[in-house]
Amino acid sequence: MAESTGCCKCCLRLMISIGVLSLVVWLTLRADKPKCSIQYFYLPALNKTLNTPTNSTLYFLLRLDNGNKDKGIYYDALNLTFHDNPNRSLSHLIGSHTIPGFYQGHQKKAKKGGDVQVNTTLVSRSGFPNGPAIFRVDLATAVRFKNIFWKWKTKRRQFVVAANVEVNDQGTKVNKKGIRLKSGAPENPYCYRAQLGVLVGLMVLVLLNFR
């Protein structure tokens, strides 16, 4: 009986050790997605002061924030597409732009700007006097996280976000602040919370069985 009790205690210690190790691994792998926002958006074709409806250039500035305290982010190429309507079923592609992939350190910010050649016919139809011009910006890429204490990287994780940008008769975005690009899908913390919940549940069951 004593031998059996000792064996049970050893198993319990082993289970607790595995649980603690799993928790450490979970905390190490867990990462927050980057935050992206449109800081600048300008369409000269819609600037009534300039009166240049044939100007086919769109200027933009994108900001990416890595809020992770101990993880850098490797971005694949960032594919940006611009549409003339926030409604996906009614929208038309007016232009696209690709930002080369790059690495962003922990708690760092990055600004990536560019100019896009757009379809001026579609742009003019979206503008005044037919009402506010609202465009949709989509961003699609994949990211990998790297813990600053480890050399290996996580697997690629798809990152797709979008935002609507309202433009005034000066051709610039109405919102003076940055416009956050968000995902249309429910938040998914990469299943880590679910895994942690299962782990805690198993540990509780083990402790109850060995009381």
Instruction: Of 194, 151, 181, 163, give the one whose Cα is nearest residue 33.
Output: 181
Question: For residue 191, what pLDDT is reported?
Answer: 44
pLDDT digits (tens, 9 = 90+) for 31-65: 899 999 999 999 999 999 999 999 999 999 999 99
More confident residue, 116 or 150: 116
Least confident of 96-110, 114-128, 184-198: 184-198
Matching residue, tokens 């060995």: 210
The mean pLDDT of 183-190, rounded to a whole number, is 55
Burial 121-145 (b: 16+ CB within 10 A, else e): ebbbebbeeeeebbbbbbbebbbbb
Question: For residue 189, what pLDDT is reported?
Answer: 44
Other CB atoms closer than 10 Å to residue 73's CB: what's the count?
25
In CATH terms, 33-188 corresponds, of 2.60.40, 2.40.160, 3.40.720, 1.10.287, to 2.60.40
- What whole-number distance in Å separates Cα of residue 146 and Cα of residue 73? 6
Q: Where are the domains of the chain?
A: 1-30+189-211, 33-188
Question: For residue 187, what pLDDT is reported?
Answer: 47
Whether the per-residue pLDDT at 195 is higher than 60: the answer is no
Identify residue 97 by its one-letter amino acid code.
Answer: H
Give the pLDDT band of residue 152 (cuts 50, 70, 90).
confident
- What whole-number distance in Å separates Cα of residue 148 and Cα of residue 115? 34
Burial 97-108 (b: 16+ CB within 10 A, else e): bebeeeebebee
pLDDT digits (tens, 9 = 90+) for 60-107: 999 999 999 999 999 999 999 999 999 999 999 999 999 999 999 999
